[in-house]
Homo-oligomer: A and B are copies of this chain.
Amino acid sequence: MDRVQVIELKETILEDNDRDAQKLREELKERGVFYLNVMSSPGSGKTTTILQILERLSKEFRVGVMEADIDSSVDALKIQEAGYPAVQLHTGGMCHLDAQMSRQGMAGLPEDTQVVILENVGNLVCPAEFDTGAVLNLVILSVPEGDDKPLKYPLMFEKCSVAVINKIDAMPAFDFDLEKASAAILRRNPEMKIYPVCAASGEGVDALCEELSGRIRSWLG
C-alpha cells in the first residue's frame, strides 16, 4: 500500500442534508460502524492526533481514516505509512464535507471497518454547519491559536461533544490560559468533555482514548 487512493468527491445538492446525515447514522448503527468527525483550524495537529488515536483504538477495533483536503495527499500518505487503511478525499475547493460526501469516502475503506475517522477540511467555520452523519464530532484547538477562539467560532464548539486542546507543551511560549480556554469552551457548550494533550509526545492521549473507546463500545453494542 504505497500509493494513496484519491477520491474526487462529487457534490450532490441534497435538499435536506440533515435528514440524509440522520439516515447515514442509522445505517452505520445497523452495520456496526462508529463514525468520528475530527475538525479544527489548519495546522492544529489533526493528523498527529489521529495517528495517536489510531495506535490505541486499533488494539480493540478495525480502524480506517478518510483524509479530506482541497488538494494534496500528504495526510493520507502519513496514515498509510503508519500502517492503517486511509483514503484521500479531494473536495474540489469545497470547505466542508456533508453526509453524501462521507458515503463516497467510506466506499473507499475496507468493508469490515468498525471505526471510521474523518479528518475534515481545516476550517473552524463551515464544517460545523454540515452534519456529516458522524456519531461523534470532535474539535481540536491548539495552544498557539489562542484561548479566545471558542468565543469567535461558537458553532464549532456547540456542535462538538469532545474538545482536544493540543500542543500543551507550547503553553510556556504562548500566552495561553488553559482555564480561560476551558471556561470559554464550556460557555459555548456546558456538556463538552475537554482533553488537554500533546499529540506529538502522546501526553494526555490515553485519557482521550478511554473516552472514545467508551463511546465506541456503547455505539457498537
Contact = CB atoms under 8 A, between A and B. Distances in A.
How many copies of this protein are present in the complex?
2
A154 B41 contact: no
Given A95-B126, A121-B125, A123-B124, A154 B42 contact: no
A43 to B, nearest CB: 3
A221 interface: no
A40 to B, nearest CB: 9
A56 interface: no
Contact of A71 (B93, B151, B174): B151
B41 A151 contact: no
Contact residues on A (Cβ < 8 Å of other chain), bracket: 35 or more
Nearest to A142: B144
Interface string A62-98: 0000000111101000000000000000000101000
17 contacts: A42-B146, A42-B149, A43-B146, A70-B125, A70-B155, A71-B152, A74-B151, A93-B155, A95-B95, A95-B126, A121-B125, A122-B125, A122-B153, A142-B144, A144-B170, A169-B173, A170-B173
Interface of A: 41-44, 69-72, 74, 93, 95, 121-126, 129, 142-146, 148-149, 151-155, 167, 169-170, 173-174
